Amino acid sequence: MSEVQTSLLEQKCVGNGLEKIKALNNVHLLNLIHKYVEHCNPDSVYVCDDSDEDKQYIRNRAIELGEERQLKLEGHTIHYDGPKDQARDKAATKYLLKPDTDLGASLNSTDREEGLKEVHGFLKDIMAGKQLYVLFFCLGPTNSEFSIPCVQLTDSTYVAHSEYILYRRGYNEFKKKGNTSDYFKFIHSAGALENNVSKNVDKRRVYIDLEDQIVYSTNTQYAGNTVGLKKLALRLAINKASREGWLAEHMMLTSIHDGKGRKSYFAGAFPSACGKTSTAMLPGEKIVGDDIAYLRKINGSLNAANVESGIFGIIRDVNPDDDPIIWNALSNPGEVILSNILTDSKGNVFWLGDDREIPDKGINFSGEWTKDKKDAKGNPIPHAHKNARYTVSLYALENLDSGLDNPEGVQLSGIIYGGRDSEIWPPVRQAFDWAHGVVTMGASLESETTAATLGQEGVRQFSPMANLDFVSIPLGRYIQNHLDFVNGIDNPPAIYAVNYFLKDSDGRFLTGMHAKRVWIKWIELRANNDVEVIETPIGFIPKYEDLRGLFKSVLNQDYTEAQYIEQFTIKVAANLDKIARIKEIYTSKVPDAPKALFDALDAQVEKLNSAQATYGDMITPQQLA
Ligand code: GTP
Ligand code: SPV
Ligand code: MN
């Protein structure tokens, strides 16, 4: 380490910041911090270790600078992202690739040298007049095979504060690792601010450099584009996992209880805004995680760990009936960051679907808001954004599972895939075997787009493993990794698919918000061999009597046979069309798609064709029972 480098940091670091960095004994890290302090040119640098004081400093500073405002409830603050910065920006998110690498047509990439030049152009002197925060966190439990240490450099107190709520602290994890370059690095700047929101969204970029495991994020605040350890890290992790033989997935983790002392863990992958948090928060069950999980083979079993220790959840429609635990967290004192909902002058908050009387004016994601306010196209601006969110620690929730911090993760009994599918898949079914589940459920997932990404909503999109937005290796290899992952696992978890979003021909949902409790209870019974099934061409489905019993015992609802038939009838032509769409994508866009994928799809087509010849296009469960 040269004199010049330490002298710049010495000059800029507040307090004993430089000593904190030096104590980590990591030259690579020291150089990285020096490089970006020099390049981004902040007025000062604040280095955080694992102390509560540093966390408190960040939170106070967020309020002092106005990136967050205190609300009526103690500990609650509100943050706003700009009107054009309310969701993940897929178009501006790109992998930086050398000319000789290719991730295939389904992933967004740009030339590495050009991308680095562009984003470093934006970053030059971008922090002048601001303070830079250096933060250390750990993905996954600390002291564990799952742990990945991360450093975040940001000029946003909101990003830093969110990370304190969402992740385990990692300063000591760095200390243990010593002089390594194998850690994740996140360089973020919100850029110039106007009314505390990023002003230059045309210069918003999320650029992922897989080679150096760095993600650069500029001129944006929305957490999905900025909080390094969330979706930015997932993209790095998928690549790392592929090199090291584990999986990084867009999955919630929950334990389901039979009421007699039996507890079984399930992982579930659903695209953004398609039910992960809602499924992880079911009444009577426990949450391990709601968004991102790492999966590893440990002692012959398939174990999963929550990468995070908090929730960045959609606040729309949160109500005491459907989400009592979240409602409680949002209605009582405690550390919570709310974003992009309406606030009045007294610090009260209003979100979409909360049934409270909405005031005529206040502040929301569009700035000063009044009931008659319209956007540039003349459309009314709702009082809160559809993708508005809350940030809360899992440790603050009464339904936290005891497995969150297990260094070995939790052992999975099942893996669930689900998307927004208004037409085709039944509410729940089980795959015949691992490959059938991986290919016809995970790799064949389609889902209608939502407000969690910028762009049109309700468009059906190919969404393999609910993870396509984050895949950072050729897609065929990603699927192959899943197919191979079963090798060496003694009792592989079964694979299930759910669909909470089936609609009737008038566009009404066929199942209510609570029905998922029944599907999950059925999955728990099935995973423990407590119920029988009906074999259909697309997998095993529940028997009517079992569902009738569960609807009664879990929800006190009468589930009629007519409902069952409507929901579980196999739509052969629609399934065949879907497989044709999926096959076309893998054929034309995924040059390395594994042969086993096509074999499983072809076998599925054959089963459907032969059932169609016998039973016709619509096959009721009774015909197969
Ligand atoms: P991200 O945080 O973006 O990853 O979303 P998520 O997968 O955690 O989705 P979440 O559970 O927050 O659900 C998103 C939206 O879907 C919520 O606003 C719910 O109202 C709606 N939703 C969840 N479950 C159901 C369901 O069973 N039926 C219907 N119709 N809507 C549901
Ligand atoms: C998602 O979009 O999948 C989310 C929110 O969970 S974000 O942080 O934007 O990724
Ligand atoms: Mn969620």
The dihedral sign for the CA sequence 124, 238, 307, 255 = positive
Q: Which of 243-247, 354-358, 442-446, 567-571 has the lowest mean pLDDT?
A: 354-358
Q: List the beta bridge partners of residue 45.
A: 13, 132
Residues above pLDDT 70, as percent of the chain: 99
Each residue of 376-415: pLDDT tens digit? 999 999 999 999 999 999 999 999 999 999 999 999 999 9
The pLDDT score that the predictor gives to residue 166 is 98
pLDDT at 2 over 70: no
pLDDT at 163 over 60: yes
Q: Is the CB of 387 under 6 A from ligand 2?
A: no
Nearest protein Cα to ligand 1, atom 15: 273
The closest alpha carbon to 154, from 118, 130, 138, 181, belongs to: 130
The pLDDT score that the predictor gives to residue 105 is 83
In angstroms, the CA 550 to CA 548 distance is 6
Q: Is the CB of 163 under 6 A from ligand 2?
A: no
The closest alpha carbon to 80, from 217, 202, 222, belongs to: 222
CA 129: distance to chain centroid?
33
Residue to probe by mutation, ligand 1, list 278, 312, 421, 498, most atoms within 8 Å of CB? 278
Each residue of 36-77: pLDDT tens digit? 999 999 999 999 999 999 999 999 999 999 999 999 999 999
Write down the pTM of the prediction: 0.98
Can you tell me the mean pLDDT for 196-225?
A: 98
Q: Is the CB of 223 under 6 A from ligand 2?
A: yes
CB-based contacts of 196-200 (< 8 A; 24+ apart in sequence): 196/65, 196/66, 196/67, 196/80, 197/80, 197/81, 197/82, 197/85, 197/221, 198/81, 198/82, 198/85, 199/82
Each residue of 454-496: pLDDT tens digit? 999 999 999 999 999 999 999 999 999 999 999 999 999 999 9
In angstroms, the CA 238 to CA 472 distance is 6
Instruction: State the average pLDDT for the chain.
Output: 97
Which residues have any ligand 1 atom within 6 Å of their CB?
Answer: 270, 272-278, 290-291, 313-314, 316-317, 452, 500-501, 509, 513, 516
Nearest protein Cα to ligand 2, atom 10: 224
In angstroms, the CA 572 to CA 616 distance is 8
552 CA from centroid of ligand 2 (Å): 34
pLDDT at 5 over 80: no
What DSSP state is assigned to residue 572?
Answer: H
Can you tell me the mean pLDDT for 589-611?
A: 97
Residues above pLDDT 90, as percent of the chain: 98
Nearest protein Cα to ligand 1, atom 28: 513
Nearest protein Cα to ligand 2, atom 2: 272
**What interhelical angle do 561-568 and 544-555 show, nearest 10?**
110
Radius of gyration of the chain (CA): 24
Each residue of 327-372: pLDDT tens digit? 999 999 999 999 999 999 999 999 999 989 999 999 999 999 999 9
What domains can be seen in the chain, in order of their start residue?
3-72+87-244 (3.40.449.10), 259-286+404-624 (3.90.228.20), 312-396 (2.170.8.10)
pLDDT at 1 over 60: no
pLDDT band at 3 (very low <50, low <70, confident <90, very high): low
What DSSP state is assigned to residue 116?
Answer: H
The closest alpha carbon to 403, from 394, 393, 390, belongs to: 394
Can you tell me the mean pLDDT for 119-140?
A: 98
The answer to whether the beta carbons of residues 409 and 304 sit under 8 Å apart is: yes
Q: List the beta bridge partners of residue 349.
A: 343
Can you tell me the mean pLDDT for 569-576?
A: 98
pLDDT at 284 over 70: yes
For 133-171, the three-class secondary structure string (H helix, E strand, C coil) is EEEEEEECCCCCCCCEEEEEEECCHHHHHHHHHHCEECH
